Chain A
Amino acid sequence: MSWMARILAIDRRVIFVLVGLGTAIPLLWPVNLPITVTPRVEAAYQTIEALPAGSTVLISMDYEPDTMAELQPMSIAVLRHCFRRNLKLIVITLYPAGPGLVEPALRLAAAAEGKERNKDYAFLGYKSGFQAVMIALGESIRQQFPVDFYKTPLDSIPILRGVNSYSKIDLVINLTASTAADYWIQFAASRYHKPLILGVTAVMATDYYPYLSSRQILGLVGGMKGAAEYEKRMDIFGDARRGMDAQSLVHVIIAGLVILGNAALLTTRKTA
């Protein structure tokens, strides 16, 4: 069997090994492939960069373990940027499985930037009701979240003193894999006229380009690639940039295999 014919009849497990290595190697030994920061991510970065120190930011992290690969590194990068800008963060989640992801992300970001709970950020935990919560935050945060995730009353949390509705919030950031984004645009941005930044999965990102061009959202971070760009902009080397190395490698492996297969097909067809 000619060399080319053997390629065509390659055992699929060879392909599986290649994909497995293409994923594991960059995670262990980062390749640090070049990343260019696209305008949409830059716009999100600049919006946070422009906030004066001490401004209050409401972050709603509405996603669950199945989309963690794309959104967890994005959350950590955005949280670290807010901490680095000495902003006051109020963090909530509208998904029951949210706290299991949000809490570790907050701990990681705060530790990396030397920030403290209740002094620099407050995590209010999960509240069901989706749109109802978003609207109610316009009236009173305390009515929705009488106590924070750790059961401490809001009044005894330093950064929440005097903050009880959207009026005191300078920026809303929503990191989500679901239609929560549409409702945040409808309520936070349109109804309460709060500046809004979105962080969504790659699959969803293209649907929100129109909102960016119409300035309903001021920045859009899409998928693991967007998160990697944000990490590069923050000059940190997180899971997103490692992940993007693996993505690039596996995509190149698959594309290469397809090209190789067709090259083999052409030569065998010529000789046959």
Chain B
Amino acid sequence: MSVVETWIAAFLTLCIFSFLYRDNPFYRFAEHLFVGVAAGYLLAVQYQDVIVPNVWMPLVAGPHTPRSIFLALIPAVLGVLMLARVWERMAGPARWAIAFYVGIYSGIAVPGYLQGQIFAQLSDAVKPFAPGWGAINSALVLLGLLTVLAYFFFSAPHRGIHGAGARIGTWFLMVAFGASFGYTVMARVSLLISRVQFLLRDWLHLIPTT
């Protein structure tokens, strides 16, 4: 990065760090600039990567065949219906575009989660117990799995055996959350280290490059 770019990046970095003290004009400026540039960037990306190849080319500029025009027209019409929501009375027709969109992603989700979440975890969970001492760990994993499932049971109150199982389940949950929390600290601190290195080395040249 050139010197000017480094100074701009350093200024914006400090604007965000100032949020730790409290909400202030520098943070507010950086926030509003961030939202504006991000919105413009994403809009331009969608225009270049989606609108031009899938709407502009087949319908206007590019080579047309009746089939390509028809295939490009349907999504374009649904898209325009979505866009028409700008005017309140067009909220009704826009429901067709919403229904199509929700239908697509519900239809993807049902088999997708069935395979990727349910069956993938089940086929992992049914692996035979590890030999020797490992069997204790396998038993603990099974116990944890069953008790956490018991905790998530909706149609039975947490009472009696089911209640005891659910209680053990919460202990497994808490240990799992504690482990996951502690495990994440290093990744977050790494990000802070690289920002502080950017300020101390690239901007202020206080740390030698290795």
Task: State whether the Cβ of B175 lies closer than 8 Å to any Cβ in chain A.
Answer: no
Q: Are A28 and B207 in contact (CB under 8 A)?
A: yes
Q: Are A243 and B193 in contact (CB under 8 A)?
A: yes
Task: State whether the Cβ of B210 lies closer than 8 Å to any Cβ in chain A.
Answer: yes
- The interface size bin for chain A is 20 to 34
**The one of A16, A202, A236 that contacts B210, using a Cβ cutoff of 8 Å:** A236
In the assembled complex, which residues on chain A have CB atoms less than 8 Å from the CB atom of B193? 23, 27, 69, 224, 243, 246-247
- 9 pairs across A/B with beta carbons < 8 Å? A27-B200, A66-B191, A68-B194, A69-B191, A202-B186, A237-B210, A243-B190, A246-B193, A246-B196
In the assembled complex, which residues on chain B have CB atoms less than 8 Å from the CB atom of A19? 192
Which B residue's beta carbon lies closest to that of A246?
B193
Which A residue's beta carbon lies closest to that of B201?
A27
Given contact pairs A108-B209, A203-B187, enumerate 10 new A-B contacts (beta carbons under 8 Å): A16-B20, A66-B191, A69-B193, A202-B186, A203-B183, A223-B186, A224-B186, A236-B210, A246-B193, A251-B189
Task: State whether the Cβ of A269 lies closer than 8 Å to any Cβ in chain B.
Answer: no
CA distance A242 to B190 in the complex (A): 11
Report how many residues on chain B are interfacial, defined by Cβ distance under 8 Å: 19
Which A residue's beta carbon lies closest to that of B192?
A23
Task: State whether the Cβ of A24 lies closer than 8 Å to any Cβ in chain B.
Answer: yes
Using a CB–CB distance below 8 Å, which chain B residues touch chain A?
20-21, 183, 185-187, 189-194, 196-197, 200, 206-207, 209-210
Q: Are A13 and B21 in contact (CB under 8 A)?
A: yes
CA distance A239 to B193 in the complex (A): 10
Q: Are A24 and B200 in contact (CB under 8 A)?
A: yes
Using a CB–CB distance below 8 Å, which chain A residues touch chain B?
13, 16, 19-20, 23-24, 27-28, 66, 68-70, 73, 76, 108, 112, 201-203, 223-225, 236-239, 242-243, 246-247, 250-251, 254
* Binding site secondary structure of chain A: helix
Q: Are A250 and B187 in contact (CB under 8 A)?
A: no
Across the A-B interface, how many residue pairs have beta carbons closer than 8 Å? 67
Known A-B contacts A13-B20, A27-B200, A239-B197; the reply to A246 vs B210 at CB < 8 A is no
CA distance A225 to B183 in the complex (A): 13
In the assembled complex, which residues on chain A have CB atoms less than 8 Å from the CB atom of B21? 13
Q: Are A224 and B200 in contact (CB under 8 A)?
A: no
In the assembled complex, which residues on chain B have CB atoms less than 8 Å from the CB atom of A223? 186, 190
CA distance A90 to B53 in the complex (A): 37
Q: Are B207 and A73 in contact (CB under 8 A)?
A: no
CA distance A210 to B91 in the complex (A): 54
CA distance A73 to B207 in the complex (A): 14
Considering residues B186, B191, B200, B210, which has the most beta carbons from chain A within 10 angstroms of its beta carbon? Answer: B210
Q: Are B200 and A28 in contact (CB under 8 A)?
A: yes
In the assembled complex, which residues on chain B have CB atoms less than 8 Å from the CB atom of A24? 196, 200
Which B residue's beta carbon lies closest to that of A73?
B210
**The one of B20, B183, B186, B206 that contacts A247, using a Cβ cutoff of 8 Å:** B186
Q: Are B190 and A27 in contact (CB under 8 A)?
A: no
